[in-house]
Amino acid sequence: MKKIVIIVCITLLTTLVLEANKIPGYVAPGTEKKAKTPDIYHAVWEKTYGGRYDDIAYGIVALEEGGSAIVGTCKSFNAQYSNICVTRMNAKGEMLWRLLLGGKKQDKGKAITRAADGSLMVLGTTKSLAKKYDHDLYVAKVSLDGKLLWEKGIGGDRDEFAGGIAGTDDGGVLVVGDSESFGNNYKDIYIVKLSAKGEVQSSRTIGGEKEDSAQGLTRTKDGTMVMVGHREVASSGNKDFFVMKLDQNGKKIWAKTYGGSYADTLSAVTASVDGGIVATGRTRSFNSAQTDLSVMKFDADGKLIWHKIYGFKYYEYGNAITSTVDGGFMIAGGTNTLGKGGHSIYMLALDKSGKLIWSHVYGDREKDEAHAIARMSDGTLVVAGESDSFSRSKNFYMIKIEKKPKAQAKATPAP
């Protein structure tokens, strides 16, 4: 009989190597291929925003009255090189304002959240604010009418890269990312707590002798934080799923690593109504042909409840996830097996037990990919990402999705 093997790597972290037939709620890749899902969601609108050069959306946060704020990287709109751009949208997808942040060097937007006072907190990676010609974390506070309140570059002599951001009760933020400046001379997870005024209150790194990376962060029901990403445990390039629960000061509550024989990484995480979390990413393990989309549910103590894998012949992956009004989850990512183009946006809706209830592909004949998703105040969902299917350069690609009334829903084959 196959067994679950437990390996203790360092005192901070516990590694759990999972075999496919032992994963709770495991669904093998490709099993949803012949399934029929109800046509329960539809796009209210699809829009692209951009200029002459590449403009890509990477993060989104819901605002009042069905509106949203988007963070991305812009080379258009009189950007000096590439700037972090923050854009506020109304419920109809109409732009209210745009703010370019950074300087004369390369600056990239990554994530956006709200502070306790309702303002916007922006996370990115900057060369403009770095002390040397390296990358540093970039954190800024922006008012709801588009005014920069403060900005800060954080890092050392080598490169730091942005992962995720979440607001804390004291008006500040917790930021996670990667650092090559601090730690064990490898890429380590970097955790920074900032005050409401942008002052660094604490910072720490977590990692071993290979690569450790933080890709996403969320605030849970009880006010704690959960970070996701990957760790290299056994050998270089062999990444495993990594999940870590933190308090609001960035101190570890628990940490778990899960994985198979090949590369496995988590890209995004959201809180569930029962106090747990659901994370999504990609896997090469667990009988995957190439790279498949992975979704994992954990309880508040880090116990794995279920693990679903969705994939076809080539590459499927989850980049973003949010909860839905009925307690389920919506995942946004990409596929190059389905759709018209090289990559298309791949959307999946799961119920709270992880069962697939809807899926759809958006895009056209070039590359279309979702990087972010959020549930709006009116219960609709807005997806943000990139597309070069409709112009020569990459543009923000945004899709607003809502649930159809039951009378309109009908069973149709999954794409």
- pLDDT tens by residue, 58-100: 999 999 999 999 999 999 999 999 999 999 999 999 999 999 9
pLDDT band at 411 (very low <50, low <70, confident <90, very high): very low
Q: What are phi and psi of 91, to 5 degrees?
A: -65, -20
Out of 136-140, 173-177, 233-237, least confident range:
233-237
In a domain, 217, yes or no: yes
In a domain, 133, yes or no: yes
Q: What is the pTM of this model?
A: 0.90
The pLDDT of residue 10: 33
Once rounded to an integer, what is the mean pLDDT over residues 355-381?
94
CATH code (residue 333): 2.120.10.30
In a domain, 34, yes or no: yes
Query: Is the pLDDT confidence value at 384 over 90?
Result: yes
Query: What is the overall mean pLDDT for the chain?
Result: 89
The pLDDT of residue 287: 82
Give residues with Cβ within 8 angstroms of 290, minimum separation 6: 284, 311, 313, 314, 315
Torsion angle (degrees, nearest 10) of CA 368, 374, 376, 380: 50
Kindly tell me the sign of the dihedral angle through the C-alpha atoms of 352, 355, 361, 367: positive
In a domain, 407, yes or no: yes
Range among 145-159, 175-189, 226-240, 286-300 rated most confident: 145-159
Q: Higher-confidence residue: 164 or 207?
A: 164
In a domain, 3, yes or no: no
Q: Higher-confidence residue: 298 or 367?
A: 298
In a domain, 334, yes or no: yes
Q: Higher-confidence residue: 5 or 299?
A: 299
In a domain, 50, yes or no: yes
Query: Is the pLDDT confidence value at 174 over 80?
Result: yes
In a domain, 5, yes or no: no
Torsion angle (degrees, nearest 10) of CA 364, 366, 370, 375: -20
The pLDDT of residue 339: 84
The pLDDT of residue 288: 83
The pLDDT of residue 85: 98
The pLDDT of residue 34: 41
Q: Higher-confidence residue: 57 or 37?
A: 57
Q: What is the pLDDT of residues 225-246, one digit of tens each?
A: 999 999 987 655 589 999 999 9
Total domain count, the chain: 1
Residue 396 is part of which domain span?
15-413
Distance CA 400, CA 394 (A): 19
